[in-house]
Amino acid sequence: MNASIAGPEIERLIQLLSKLPGLGPRSARRAVLHLLKKREALMGPLAEALADAAEKISTCSTCGNVDVTDPCAICAAPRRDPASICVVETVGDLWALERANAFRGRYHVLGGTLSALDGVRPEDLNMAGLFERASAPEVTEIVLALNATVDGQTTAHYLADRLAGIDVQITSLARGVPVGGELDYLDDGTLAAAFRSRRPT
């Protein structure tokens, strides 16, 4: 779009919004039109909420989670079990586990996975803190809740190797048929894993 049509302010907004995942130039334009229509109700509040978040939110120096406090609310919560640390790739994975109410211990966010292709080495990830935390006397279990992708599993193996010298139990998430899953549509790997791990009912 010619910059002179809608003015540089709107152009800049479209350009910034189109950098969000799931929004291209076209949908960013649609979002901006919606924002312009709801200037009072949405545009102003969104600007404030963003400025507020950008100012207040920081990364937890213990676990790598994002929060307005450091240590984050999860690390600081006394009712959460300090004996168990769940290692996840991203904050999004942490949120997913919290939504599922799956875990009452504490987390450790790596911030990605090892990747030869993208040149991500162990020192590029939030790993040093994990080895330190795992060595603490109260810690008895490390759950490696990494994605079931090639990079995720490579990272899990690397971590399991590195943690082998420390006196903690290392576990990982079960593989199997997802809830609502139909066998006919599952991939062979999942089906084979589910079969191998079959349990008496």
Residue ranges binding a copy of itself (CB under 8 A): 1-2, 4-7, 9-10, 12-13, 16-17, 19-23, 27, 29-31, 33-36, 39, 42-54, 56-57, 66-68, 73-74, 90-92, 95, 98-99
Which residue's CB is nearer to a copy of itself, number 42 or number 166?
42
What is the distance, to the nearest Å, from the Cα of residue 106 to the centroid of all Cα atoms in its chain? 14
Shortest separation between residue 86's beta carbon and a copy of itself, angstroms: 14
Which residue's CB is nearer to a copy of itself, number 65 or number 84?
65
Give the residue from 128, 141, 139 showing the smallest Cα distance to 82: 139
Shortest separation between residue 141's beta carbon and a copy of itself, angstroms: 21
Shortest separation between residue 61's beta carbon and a copy of itself, angstroms: 16
Shortest separation between residue 101's beta carbon and a copy of itself, angstroms: 8
Shortest separation between residue 51's beta carbon and a copy of itself, angstroms: 4
Which residue's CB is nearer to a copy of itself, number 99 or number 196?
99
Query: How far is the CA of 71 from the CAs of 48, 74, 107, 143, 153, in angstroms?
Result: 25, 8, 12, 21, 28
Give the residue from 148, 160, 153, 154 showing the smallest Cα distance to 190: 148
Q: What is the edge-to-edge ordering of all strands in the sheet holding 141-144?
A: 106-109, 84-88, 141-144, 169-172
How far, in Å, CA of 65 to CA of 59, rounded?
Answer: 6
194 three-state secondary structure: helix
Tell how strand 66-67 and strand 169-172 pair up: unpaired
Which residue's CB is nearer to a copy of itself, number 101 or number 201?
101
The residue whose two tokens read 């803190």 is: 129
Which residue's CB is nearer to a copy of itself, number 42 or number 150?
42
